[in-house]
Structure 1
Amino acid sequence: MSFEPLAADFYSYADVLTDREREALARLRTWLETEVTPVIGGYWERAEFPMRLIAPLAEQGVLSYAWEETRPFENSAVFRGFVALELARVDASVGTFVGVQNGLATGSIAVAGSDEQRAEWIPKLASGEVLGAFGLTEPDSGSDSARGLRTTARRDGDEWVLNGAKRWIGNATFSDITIIWAKDEADGQVKGFIVPTSTPGYAATKIEGKISLRPVQNADIVLTDVRVPEGLRLQRANSFRDTAAVLRATRAEVAWSAVGTAIGAYEAALAYTKARVQFGKPIAAHQLIQDHLVKCLGNITASLGMVVRVSELQDRGLQRDEHSALAKAYATARMRETVAWAREACGGNGIVLEHRVARYFADAEALYSYEGTREMNTLIVGRAITGEAAFV
């Protein structure tokens, strides 16, 4: 299957991909546009997740590319970034599901699990046999998770007893396991646990009334004397530094998703303005509309250059926290501008799902906030460039 570069890839960044990577990307794009694009608006409106798409997503390889136990061929972080872009370009909620399943849940085990835990869980998560969630954020602890985590873990013989609450946990209404991060009462350090959601004392309740990423099933989780065997403690998670190692890679992937969301809005606006006729010609022929579209393309091009470089650094083992933090802060801010200009170019029709722009416009707000707000990511970068920590 031949790979056609996106028109929004104005500087042809996809040229860095190998032929095998382009072939896989072409298959994924065709599947997404055939199977997801026609139906996702309805799921978004109903706030339902398209569960029937999970098995085909796994068959496309998007849950397995990153891990040596399951990847079908050698691939780059740049390629995996383009996968995240393609997913979000069609729908950011589907992209978020993959980010949670593949990046956060599987990634926690890949980064902080023992060899035995990797061998047991990664293939099951990559195939979709087991669905995962990632429990870090709490009702009273989001940006200050490094210090303010309130969920506790207490060793009791060969078991750990977990108590606390989590909030905004994606996939958590249907996950089979949730990675729970909790503070060890004995040493005050953050540790990770693979918690089967069938464990007594574990309860997840869907968060209702969202205006962004509506198909994503975010949940409030309550943990009441949840007992987890020592064998399900992530054996290489000994402090929040290990949690941060998981977030380092996924934060860069959110930046890629932001570029994909911006591209989806731009493409929808471009198609609409070329078809919409006012004053005797398509509105795309008017100077002000072209100005909006070019500003969108400029934001996309600048952000795409940044995320490609961050992923190249990851491939070389040189990516640092501040690299992914800057990419996430910048790309999501430019995405927010882009979806607003795209919606404006579509006039009143830009607020209805029929023309797709409204979905990207709303979904951008969640991407702007999760995996670290813009302000928190600027503090990570600020600390790196000044040598001074401005955190409260």
Structure 2
Amino acid sequence: MDAVTRSDAIGIDPYGFAAAHLSSDALSALSGLRRVLASDIVPAMAEAWETASMPDVVLEKLTALEGMRPPGMDAAEADSTLFSGFRNYVLAQADVSVATLYNAQSGLFRSSILHGGSAEQAAALDPDVRSFALSGAFALTEPDHGSDIAGGLATTARRDGDEWIIDGAKRWIGGAAAADVLVVFARDTADGEVKAFLVSTDAPGVRCDPMNGKIALRPMQNAHVTLQAVRVPESLRLQRVESWRDVARILRVMRSDVAWIATGLQAGALDAALRYVTQREQFGRPIGGFQLVQEKLARMLGNLTASLGLVVQLSAQQDAGHWADENSALAKMQTARLARETVALAREVAGGNGILLEHDIARFFADAEAVYSYEGTHEITSLIVGRALTGESAFI
């Protein structure tokens, strides 16, 4: 792979996307992040995956990310979708659960407040969200409603004076058990529209039960959340979420984050596959010298590079002020689909050893299945794109 361009900032980058789009300060920040991930976090992830637990060191290092930003880094670039995307890409190369944990805070939770809260709410809460002083989780999906959540959302909110009473259940809520606050989406019984509330996890009536038995994203803790007559003051209702249209506006931002994660996991799988094929010998020579192995590696690199092109351009458009549901959906749909193929090829070149945690490939192989479905399944994202192409909605 000597002929394929690598950078200290993001690793394999044959078309030089990082250098072309980021400042030297941003590249330095990403390089520092990669070093911390390699030295302190990646060595712990195989055991974390085996035990289905998130090591304390992960959150300790993630909360220190602000300190990894060089003092001279431009604030606008630091807050840009493009820099955030490359950061998710680097995190996902290390481990998808690590990227998902960070994104649950910096993406899902923070985006909900920035795009769903009033200017006053965002200004008051964002500093603590950024520093992890206030941790949160995004509670939208329900036990009986995933892809049909727009019309099927069953959790209710009833106004009672200056308070709201929330009843219902949420499922697959990442990081809920360790969070201070949940962003709970509920249907207003008065007008039938979806509203959003900041609900303390220690409030009376809130219960978070861990979900066990997962075969993907095992270190990432997901919860089943029960809400029984939970009282929330009007001041903790996110003031700019008045309907599903406002929720969709928030989801549009999040899908681009997931597309970056789907791209980063491909880079992690390719790196793991390269390490394996250069060390593993069969028939008296490294298997990296076999034609069939090299063909698979080339396809993996092609998938990765195509995915990088998609997400870089998507984020550049968003930073320029152009946001489109169909563009975010297309990027998520395509990068997640390619990720499935890429991790399967990585598993193939490692043979039976590809399912062992010690070679790293197995983590990416399993986690690609979760990424393929979360934040918009392949089918749902395809229908968003199809609606834009034809002008006809195929949603039931």
TM-score normalised to structure 2 length = 0.95
Match of 2:41 among 36, 40, 62: 36
Q: Deviations over 1:234-277 (max 9, x none)?
A: 01110111111111111011000001101101110011001101
Measured in 1, the distance between the counterparts of 2:219 and 2:31 equals: 25
Report whether the alignment pairs 1:355 with 2:359: yes
Report whether the alignment pairs 1:313 with 2:322: no
> Unaligned stretches of 5+ in structure 1?
66-70
Q: CA offset at residue 116 of structure 1?
A: 2.5
Report whether the alignment pairs 1:47 with 2:69: no
- Counterparts of 1:1-392 in structure 2 under 5 Å? 4=8, 6=10, 8-15=12-19, 16-61=21-66, 73-75=75-77, 76-392=80-396
Q: CA offset at residue 6 of structure 1?
A: 4.7
Measured in 2, the distance between the counterparts of 1:160 and 1:39 equals: 43
Secondary structure of 1:37 counterpart: helix
For 1:98, the aligned partner's letter is Y
For 1:326, the aligned partner's letter is L
For 2:30, the aligned partner's letter is L
Measured in 2, the distance between the counterparts of 1:5 and 1:42 equals: 26
RMSD, aligned CA: 1.7
For 1:24, the aligned partner's letter is A
Aligned residues: 386
For 2:76, the aligned partner's letter is E
Q: CA offset at residue 53 of structure 1?
A: 2.5
Secondary structure of 1:153 counterpart: strand
* Poorly superposed stretches of 4+, deviation over 6 Å: 62-65
User: Does the aligned pair in 1 maintain the 2:209–2:223 contact within 8 Å?
Assistant: yes
Structure 1 pair 7–166 and aligned structure 2 pair: CA distance change class (3 A):
closer
User: Does the aligned pair in 2 maintain the 1:63–1:125 contact within 8 Å?
Assistant: no
For 1:163, the aligned partner's letter is D
Measured in 2, the distance between the counterparts of 1:271 and 1:53 equals: 24
Measured in 1, the distance between the counterparts of 2:74 and 2:17 equals: 23
Measured in 1, the distance between the counterparts of 2:7 and 2:289 equals: 30
Measured in 2, the distance between the counterparts of 1:135 and 1:63 equals: 29
TM-score normalised to structure 1 length = 0.96
Q: CA offset at residue 25 of structure 1?
A: 0.7
For 2:367, the aligned partner's letter is D
Q: Deviations over 1:87-116 (max 9, x none)?
A: 000010010011111111111111111222
Measured in 2, the distance between the counterparts of 1:391 and 1:260 equals: 30
Secondary structure of 2:158 counterpart: strand
Which moves more between the two structures, 117-126 or 163-172? 117-126
Percent identity between matched residues is 50
